[in-house]
């Protein structure tokens, strides 16, 4: 609705206009004209209210897993994080922020503390979208069709998919140990933007109201929501018909659980439109019985007592990122890209204190009470060119700037930023815990 100041301005404007054209102003005329002018605005507001979507109740028996209060990265652009030094009382090397990405390449979930295992942070990259890619026929007439993951590299609008992680909690409303979400160790809730068709029809006018309601609520578009059980039991898997199928993740083709039946057809159609996917689309969960072993750039089983394995991560369990290193890259990119958001680099652990690129030579470190093998440098493609807030990709930056001075590993021709890590211990890691370097040395990336 219009504010009192806006109404005063409107009435004064009407009076001045009538004075100019020689029309006599009366209180009734003023009121009638004002109402006529305000009627479209009032009508649109009522339309938006009538089409405002009611929030879906939270998953029964679950609480949302996320950090409390403001993001620990809310001050990430402060100049103090661009300068590091030796660890001391005045320059503590600490964990700044923790992130997990339950659905690969989509929005992350920030945590105050994370449960860390040998295969990474719990809940991190357990799901991925995949499209079915069919090859052209060979000369013999054979056609190859396979599920292939999609990422921000090809579909930057994935950044607009919001993700929440909900976990069982006996104190949560509707808790029942035999409830659907409780038995599945919770669920992921995902939302993506979609603007329905508008036009001169009843449905079109209602859709326009939905769009207007979304904008009044602070969203650019209406959001479509879906929910996926996090860790379905074997009984649930059988009852719902989830299929174990091969899915291609770069050079790896593991067996995973196709849970596409959880997505209604109209939701899939809207999601494909939003992302720009034309092929068949589904969602996979890593099969807990078939983890993906990491055989390169990782500690050997005979040395650490376990086989390094991952879910839907690119190559390693955990990615750590020095905020000072991001500040350094940010200082070199063209001004229109500054400041660079740390989330462009999809880190699990953001830390502060060390000078830029000090981490390049780390081999082993202790983060809080956990010992980490610093397995290799993180080689970078063009994924960081995607702005995580807008879902818009730039053709060149920051990749072009990074290639000028961050091709630093003799085993790779790619620019490097951040480190890939294998946890040697299992336990809890919290924001604010201190970092201690246990060993340093040379890294040589193995393709």
Concatenating the DSSP letter of every residue in 349-410 gives: EEEESSPTTGGGGEEEEEETTEEEEEEEEEEE-SGGGB-TTT--B-SSTTHHHHHHH----T
User: What total number of domains does the chain contain?
Assistant: 2
Indicate whether 41 and 178 sit together in one domain.
no
List Cβ neighbours of 25 (8 Å cut-off, separation of 6 or more).
14, 15, 18, 19
The answer to whether residues 204 and 197 touch, using CB atoms and an 8 Å cutoff, is: yes
56 lies in a domain? no
Closest by CA to 129, choosing from 279, 267, 283, 253, is 283
- Residue-wise pLDDT for 255-295, tens only, equals 999 999 999 999 999 999 999 999 999 999 999 888 899 99
The C-alpha angle with vertex 216 and arms to 210 and 221, in degrees rounded to 5, equals 50
Indicate whether 44 and 67 sit together in one domain.
no
Indicate whether 133 and 45 sit together in one domain.
no
Indicate whether 180 and 272 sit together in one domain.
yes
248 lies in a domain? yes
446 lies in a domain? no
Indicate whether 152 and 115 sit together in one domain.
yes
Indicate whether 79 and 13 sit together in one domain.
no
Query: Three-state DSSP class for 15?
Result: helix
Indicate whether 348 and 254 sit together in one domain.
yes
394 lies in a domain? yes
Token readout for 329 is: 């890259």
Q: How much is the pLDDT for 199?
A: 72
Indicate whether 128 and 228 sit together in one domain.
yes
List Cβ neighbours of 284 (8 Å cut-off, separation of 6 or more).
127, 128, 129, 130, 147, 149, 245, 247, 256, 257, 258, 259, 312
Pairing outcome for strands 120-121 and 113-117 = antiparallel
Indicate whether 112 and 41 sit together in one domain.
no
Indicate whether 284 and 199 sit together in one domain.
yes
Distance CA 315, CA 85 (A): 30
Indicate whether 33 and 157 sit together in one domain.
no
Indicate whether 105 and 187 sit together in one domain.
yes
The C-alpha angle with vertex 275 and arms to 388 and 107, in degrees rounded to 5, equals 35
Residue 37 belongs to domain spanning: 4-50
Distance CA 315, CA 310 (A): 7
205 lies in a domain? yes
Closest by CA to 210, choosing from 163, 201, 271, 220, is 220
331 Rama class: left (phi>0) / alpha (psi -120 to 50) / beta? alpha
Q: Measured between alpha carbons, how far is residue 325 from residues 61, 139, 351 in Å?
A: 42, 51, 10
Predicted structure pTM score: 0.89
The answer to whether residues 234 and 288 touch, using CB atoms and an 8 Å cutoff, is: no
447 lies in a domain? no
Distance CA 293, CA 170 (A): 35
- Residue-wise pLDDT for 365-423, tens only, equals 999 999 999 999 999 999 999 999 999 999 999 999 999 999 999 999 999 999 999 99
- One digit per residue, the tens of pLDDT, for the chain of length 447 reads 455 565 566 556 656 665 665 555 566 665 666 666 667 767 666 755 666 777 789 999 999 999 989 999 999 999 999 989 999 888 899 999 999 999 999 999 999 999 999 999 999 999 999 999 988 887 777 888 999 999 999 999 999 999 999 999 999 999 999 999 999 999 999 999 998 877 777 776 776 667 776 677 778 888 999 999 999 988 889 999 999 999 999 989 999 999 999 999 999 999 999 999 999 999 999 998 888 999 999 999 999 999 999 999 999 999 999 999 999 999 999 999 999 999 999 999 999 999 999 999 999 999 999 999 999 999 999 999 999 999 999 999 999 999 999 999 999 999 999 999 999 999 999 999 999 999 999 999 998
55 lies in a domain? no
445 lies in a domain? no
Judging by beta carbons within 10 Å of its beta carbon (0-12, 13-18, 19+), is residue 387 exposed, middle or buried? middle
């Amino acid at each position: 609705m219009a504010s009192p100041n806006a109404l005063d301005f409107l009435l004064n404007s009407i009076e001045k206009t009538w004075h100019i054209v020689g029309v006599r102003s009366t209180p009734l005329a003023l009121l009638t004209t004002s109402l006529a002018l305000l009627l479209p605005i009032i009508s649109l507001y009522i339309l938006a209210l009538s089409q405002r979507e009611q929030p879906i109740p939270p998953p029964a028996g679950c609480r949302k897993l996320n950090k409390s209060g403001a993001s620990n990265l809310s001050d990430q652009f402060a100049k103090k994080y661009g300068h590091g030094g030796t660890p001391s009382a005045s320059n503590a090397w600490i964990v700044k922020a923790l992130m997990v990405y339950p659905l690969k390449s989509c929005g992350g979930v920030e945590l105050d503390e994370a449960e860390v295992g040998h295969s990474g942070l719990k809940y991190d990259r357990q799901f991925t979208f995949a499209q079915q890619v069919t090859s052209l026929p060979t000369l013999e007439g054979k056609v190859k069709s396979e599920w292939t993951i999609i990422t921000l590299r090809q579909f930057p609008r994935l950044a607009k998919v919001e993700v929440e992680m909900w976990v069982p909690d006996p104190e949560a409303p509707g808790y029942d140990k035999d409830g659907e979400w409780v038995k599945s160790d919770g669920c992921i809730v995902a939302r993506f933007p979609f603007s329905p068709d508008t036009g001169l029809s009843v449905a079109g006018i209602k859709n326009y109201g939905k769009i207007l309601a979304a904008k009044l609520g602070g969203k650019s578009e209406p959001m479509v929501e879906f929910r996926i059980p996090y860790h379905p039991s074997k009984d649930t898997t059988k009852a719902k018909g989830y299929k174990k199928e091969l899915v291609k993740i770069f050079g790896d083709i593991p067996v995973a659980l196709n849970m596409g039946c959880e997505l209604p057809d109209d939701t899939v159609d809207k999601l494909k439109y939003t992302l720009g996917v034309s092929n068949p689309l589904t969602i996979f969960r890593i099969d807990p019985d078939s983890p993906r072993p990491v055989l390169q750039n990782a500690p050997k089983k005979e040395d650490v007592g376990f086989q390094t394995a991952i879910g839907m991560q690119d190559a390693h369990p955990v990615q750590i990122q020095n905020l000072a290193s991001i500040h350094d890259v940010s200082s070199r990119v063209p001004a229109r890209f500054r400041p660079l958001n740390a989330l462009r680099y999809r880190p699990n652990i953001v830390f502060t204190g060390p000078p830029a690129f000090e981490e390049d030579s780390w081999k082993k470190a202790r983060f809080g009470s956990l010992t980490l093998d610093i397995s290799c440098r993180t080689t970078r493609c063009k994924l960081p060119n995607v702005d995580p807030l807008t879902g818009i990709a730039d053709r060149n930056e920051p990749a072009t700037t990074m290639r000028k001075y961050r091709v630093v590993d003799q085993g790779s021709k790619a620019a490097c930023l951040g480190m890939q890590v294998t946890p040697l211990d299992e336990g809890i890691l919290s924001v604010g815990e201190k970092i201690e370097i246990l060993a340093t040395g040379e890294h040589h990336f193995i393709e």
